[in-house]
Chains A and B, each alone.
Chain A
């Protein structure tokens, strides 16, 4: 307990330096600004803004990136409420009741309760991260290569179970991601793999290039197709602060949402995406009058938004303690951290405690800042959202181009990003979900490395994976998961959960 307080104090001393406060503020502000753009989710936002952190020292850069991340997350909710377009999967649920509230002239209250709920969830999640970090890091040190491999298999299985649509397609797309991860020079033998003699990709594909192509450009292509009538709320925004009754109605949903979101966010394989769905379903079940849901029930915004933010934050735990990204956004964070010379994993906490605890403390500060920045700026976001899409998407294209070019000053990478844009568009056309690919891409390299190490240690015996209790247990859970996903009855209810959200 004293450790916890001591660690947080260390973190706060780092995060509260004037420079880091400014970076955190800037990150939150720009993150929200870009995240508010319809169709631009956290992945595209982070990729686009990655170059602006280049000139900063690693601690500051990470604090800023984290700020960009939850800024983008919050910006997505704003778009969901005001325009009925979810920026990403986790804010889908918010559109249901949030947009209805906005239509009834209660947009301000919806945004207000989302901000307040997110803030409370963020505070709790920060404490959970701080409390779990030390024991989990200690546990991570017990992990051998075989156990790591098994853990990643488990994470990918979770991603399969949680993906929408067919199980076979979800597994296949993860495998494609792993296949893409083998492109480039093999680290052990120095041989070029899958490069077709093309020098530009001898160092492997950049995660930012894939992410920007599939989540920036492909998303624009899809948005252009659906001639959506963007119904930006015309009703007044109304007052921002929820009144006593709103708060009473929201208090319990926020608490439940926070708890659910925090727990699910810990799961490897994009558990965070489940939080808002689970919270919405729970609140609807518990409500005295479930028919209010879908017609502007404040609980339907408060609960899921809290779950969303809590999960977004606890998703950092597997990344920071085990070095394994649980979802596509965190996979991108691995890329971002690597650029700054930080290798995510248990050694961060022991070797760079200032960086580790500074980042965690800045999460809490960032949440506070979001509350302070966003409530007064809502009017600005509304005006921003009224810019017609025919002007908005060329601007997004330009920002994406500049962002990608600046990562390595390479025009070739810009061209490759365009190619991945087309690839991402094709994926969607064939009914594949792009997010698991990114996860498979980042985990693929790690998995191959750990597989090699494990087999070297065991002198080529695959038995090592079932003989070590930890890895055997993890693989067993993965197996159970996949069986469950294939069972028809569960498949139906799984589809229903997603249907309801649509």
Chain B
């Protein structure tokens, strides 16, 4: 599980706990977005509370705790803010976004390797050759597993991009798996 930031007490400056200060600002920001999104909703009466009561009340409470953290950060010693990594989030989440953008038009054959390769760039020590093999192998494996074996409606190769020989091999494996699975099903009985 996530470990909390380690204790590194800060004593200098007005801000005794930058971590709590940041946390407080973060909460207040969330509360403003929440309150803004529910701004026009009616509060209703207590006997028939409206759709706005819950979001607005909760948003105000979130903001209150944000303020509490801000105040606390001035008086109680706490932890330093942790530095944010840039490379990790950009490539890992970038890989996810690329997957989302390509899965519909080109299917898993494009989205799979792209997601693997782009996200792998988050690690500076990624090795191109190893990565290329892993990307192709993982994609084919996931195709067989999710598309063929589990029948999920995920597009695999809607644009017909796979080169002929690989496709033939894939179809062969697919048929084999389908047979084995059918035999297994027949054995178990539905």
Chain A residues within 8 Å of B, Cβ to Cβ: 18-19, 22, 41, 51-52, 54-55, 86, 88-89, 92, 164-166, 168-169, 171-172, 175-176, 178-179, 182-183, 186, 188-189, 191, 193-196, 217, 219-222, 224-225, 389-391, 393-395, 397-402, 405-406, 409, 411-412, 414-415, 417-418, 421-422, 425-426, 428-435, 444, 448, 451-452, 455-456, 459-462, 502
Known: A172-B27, A225-B85. A411 touches B101 (CB 8 A): yes
| B62:A179 contact, CB within 8 angstroms | yes
Contacts of A418 in B (CB 8 A): 93, 96-97, 100
Known: A18-B188, A418-B100. A221 touches B46 (CB 8 A): no
Check: B152 CB closer than 8 A to any chain A CB.
Answer: yes
Check: B92 CB closer than 8 A to any chain A CB.
Answer: yes
Determine the distance from Cα of A501 to Cα of B42 in the docked complex, in whole angstroms: 48
Determine the distance from Cα of A244 to Cα of B50 in the docked complex, in whole angstroms: 66
Q: Which of A41, A175, A178, A422 has the largest number of chain B CB atoms within 10 A?
A: A175
| A224:B85 contact, CB within 8 angstroms | yes
| A221:B85 contact, CB within 8 angstroms | yes
Chain B residues within 8 Å of A, Cβ to Cβ: 1-5, 19-20, 22-23, 26-27, 30-31, 34, 37-38, 41-42, 45-52, 54-55, 58-59, 61-62, 65-66, 68-69, 72, 79, 81-82, 84-85, 88-89, 92-93, 95-97, 99-101, 103-104, 108, 111-112, 115-117, 119-120, 122-123, 125-127, 130-131, 134-135, 138-139, 142, 146, 150-154, 188-190
| A168:B68 contact, CB within 8 angstroms | yes
- Identity of the chain B residue whose Cβ is nearest the Cβ of A18 in the assembled complex: B188
Contacts of A88 in B (CB 8 A): 1
- Identity of the chain B residue whose Cβ is nearest the Cβ of A22 in the assembled complex: B188
| B122:A393 contact, CB within 8 angstroms | yes
- Identity of the chain B residue whose Cβ is nearest the Cβ of A191 in the assembled complex: B51
| B152:A52 contact, CB within 8 angstroms | yes
| B92:A460 contact, CB within 8 angstroms | no
Closest Cβ–Cβ distance, residue A171 to chain B (whole Å): 6
Contacts of B93 in A (CB 8 A): 217, 418, 421-422
Contacts of A412 in B (CB 8 A): 100
Determine the distance from Cα of A460 to Cα of B84 in the docked complex, in whole angstroms: 47
Contacts of B66 in A (CB 8 A): 172
| B150:A411 contact, CB within 8 angstroms | no
Contacts of B82 in A (CB 8 A): 429
| A397:B1 contact, CB within 8 angstroms | no
Identify A397's interface contact among B2, B19, B79, B92, CB under 8 A: B92
Contacts of B59 in A (CB 8 A): 179
Determine the distance from Cα of A195 to Cα of B23 in the docked complex, in whole angstroms: 24
| A462:B46 contact, CB within 8 angstroms | yes
| A193:B47 contact, CB within 8 angstroms | no
Known: A52-B150, A186-B51, A425-B89. A430 touches B96 (CB 8 A): no
Known: A217-B93, A397-B96. A165 touches B4 (CB 8 A): yes
Contacts of A86 in B (CB 8 A): 1
Determine the distance from Cα of A327 to Cα of B159 in the docked complex, in whole angstroms: 44
Closest Cβ–Cβ distance, residue A327 to chain B (whole Å): 12
Identify A406's interface contact among B51, B54, B152, B188, CB under 8 A: B152
10 A-B contacts, Cβ less than 8 Å apart? A88-B1, A179-B31, A217-B96, A391-B130, A391-B131, A397-B115, A398-B99, A401-B100, A414-B99, A434-B2
Contacts of A400 in B (CB 8 A): 96
Q: Which of A88, A402, A502 has the largest number of chain B CB atoms within 10 A?
A: A402
Q: Which of A52, A193, A397, A399 has the largest number of chain B CB atoms within 10 A?
A: A397
| B37:A394 contact, CB within 8 angstroms | no
Contacts of B95 in A (CB 8 A): 394, 397
Determine the distance from Cα of A433 to Cα of B2 in the docked complex, in whole angstroms: 7
Q: Which 3 A-B pairs have the closest CB atoms?
A: A460-B47, A460-B46, A194-B37
Determine the distance from Cα of A175 to Cα of B19 in the docked complex, in whole angstroms: 19
Closest Cβ–Cβ distance, residue B102 to chain A (whole Å): 9
Known: A168-B65, A179-B34, A397-B116. A429 touches B154 (CB 8 A): no
Interface contacts beyond A168-B69, A502-B3: sample of 12 additional A-B pairs, CB < 8 Å, sorted by A: A18-B188, A52-B152, A88-B1, A89-B1, A189-B50, A391-B130, A402-B146, A406-B154, A415-B96, A430-B23, A432-B23, A456-B47
Determine the distance from Cα of A52 to Cα of B147 in the docked complex, in whole angstroms: 10
| B104:A394 contact, CB within 8 angstroms | no
Contacts of A172 in B (CB 8 A): 23, 27, 62, 65-66, 69
| B47:A188 contact, CB within 8 angstroms | no
Known: A168-B69, A455-B46. A222 touches B2 (CB 8 A): yes
Contacts of B88 in A (CB 8 A): 220-221, 224-225
- Identity of the chain A residue whose Cβ is nearest the Cβ of B113 in the assembled complex: A398
Closest Cβ–Cβ distance, residue B16 to chain A (whole Å): 14
| A414:B138 contact, CB within 8 angstroms | no
Determine the distance from Cα of A309 to Cα of B59 in the docked complex, in whole angstroms: 37
Known: A415-B100, A431-B20. A51 touches B62 (CB 8 A): no
Known: A391-B134, A428-B2. A452 touches B49 (CB 8 A): yes
Contacts of A417 in B (CB 8 A): 96
Closest Cβ–Cβ distance, residue A425 to chain B (whole Å): 6
Determine the distance from Cα of A285 to Cα of B84 in the docked complex, in whole angstroms: 41
| A401:B85 contact, CB within 8 angstroms | no
Contacts of A402 in B (CB 8 A): 108, 142, 146, 152, 154
Contacts of A448 in B (CB 8 A): 54
| A405:B2 contact, CB within 8 angstroms | no
Determine the distance from Cα of A461 to Cα of B20 in the docked complex, in whole angstroms: 37
Contacts of A220 in B (CB 8 A): 88, 92
Known: A194-B38, A399-B142, A459-B47. A405 touches B154 (CB 8 A): yes
Identify A433's interface contact among B4, B26, B55, B131, CB under 8 A: B4
- Identity of the chain B residue whose Cβ is nearest the Cβ of A190 in the assembled complex: B51
| A176:B27 contact, CB within 8 angstroms | yes
Closest Cβ–Cβ distance, residue A246 to chain B (whole Å): 28
Identify A421's interface contact among B4, B55, B96, B153, CB under 8 A: B96
